[in-house]
Structure 1
């Protein structure tokens, strides 16, 4: 479902955040793991919240993922998520697992909740042990800060960042059973971005009433159309996680696919995730532009998404966008190797409002106008395959000299 088709049922909350839904608070603190910036964050819910998660498909998975999977599998409920940045706690063996469990048990102790009500996330450098003493000391101090509402969400957002240049937040509202239901979100991600998923952490809160199994159904569907449609550099990380918590405090009737407002809930969740996904794509390491690819006329939505992802993931397309070169040949090349079922003779391509290809034949266009359009910050590439009714989008960024500079010296 294209979000534009039902946008009126969900509205943005401009000043909203991860703590806007009923029942949630957050905090961020500096523990000394990073030299100056905040490096430990927590989200806390006043009640056990229905929870669901989606994880990286990388077969090398960091220790916190194992702990979080175990927590959610126990009961489908969470009350706290503890997140450290600066160190991924990945490829750290038995000690890494022990440290992740220590983060979980310390958080449970501080908030006086069962250990399996705590999820753990880490992000940063791979292959180095956590400075666990600093993190545990930070956990002991962080509870008091959750009671301070002023800028607490922003402090959480800052605490989870690595090479990101901006905080990434989202908030939307919809109506279910006549009750206002709110979604809040926070995310980090800038490099190693090619989800299924990426070096990307995302946390979604909502006050909707929904059981864990149905929340998982909704989250899995939404992630496939949002976070799994962004790419920066084609690398898939060891730590990627999306976690959703639903407090139920909106007091709507419990949501299932048979609920008349189910689509409103899924759309609210989707718009929150899409907003965060686009923020991640735009904040790609060294990026200067957000690229959105819209594909219509595919055999189905999945095929459309596959084509869109191939285009936005092409280093040649990304380089051309950076260089303000309207090289549509690179776009059709990506379409051809996408693996989708296409007709090579029926493809239309437009860059912004400038159509460059019709039925796979080049059209005359103003190179000067195209170059001018490509200097703008938000670039839209539209493709019509004309083989079906499928529609899909994907997001990415341009590939710049700064991407190489940042990653050439990541550890130094």
Structure 2
């Protein structure tokens, strides 16, 4: 006898309790109002929750001693404080750490903590899972866009790192995480609403308390959104440049076909507050035989004229199947010398986390790809055979 199951009437899976970790003050207030509190009480409780969750790193409502037991019990019945699932965590030999975070089924993003960057250490966060820009030197650009990350999911990347570094409360001295850079997966200006809300939460002095001056947003050049980014966030601006003429940049950064260099630099000059204390960072990946001549270094100097700027020269970080090679070190140093002599700081970024594919341009994660742990196992087996 054949037995068939009618799955059409199977009830949809019920979502679990909602996490409050990473929510902004307005979002927390909305949740408290949904719990039945009047607006005044909801606003007060939202601020208390913000301090416990984002200043002390609380992951249990029972520790919130200035909130009534009855409300704590009600919160515990409806909400949780847990972070998203960490699907994989790797540590490089140079101390760099990379997390693959599963925000939802099929939605996984990577974030990278880099020690000894900025004041003490920087976290590179993702704003999207995947990317639409298809920059030819970037591994993330080979992955299709899955979706934008929410403001909460962006902030949760910071909470995960703070947990790992044991840096609660936020006021502790000698913190290892001092800077946030939106240079992970995705184009932040195509998710500006969520990025701006996340920056509000990350920079909140009664919460995570990382200054806006230590938060940098990198864009490939979504020109119309650049002044708006400055107006809404006050963050530092970085431009993923990589070429000094439209013909080459059209190839390396296809977005340039929509917003050419002239349009891009008009938007950059309109960024609020630019000056000696607020410079634009230009990222320039060094590709052997592509964009690394001394003539191009001089063209870069001319292109930046009148813009308060510093230039990060980035040795190309290879990834499987990449079509480029890194410029020779002598070539990079000669390029930097031209830019330095023109009065621009042009540090050469030391590659970090290459061994775990955590370096600039190497981030890529799909739910259908072989897990990083499986890749490492295969590599170890190949090396021993």
TM over 0.5: no
**Which interval holds the TM-score relative to the shorter structure?**
0.3 to 0.5
| Higher radius of gyration, 1 or 2 | 2
Structure having the larger proportion of residues in strand: 1
Q: TM-score, normalised by structure 1?
A: 0.31
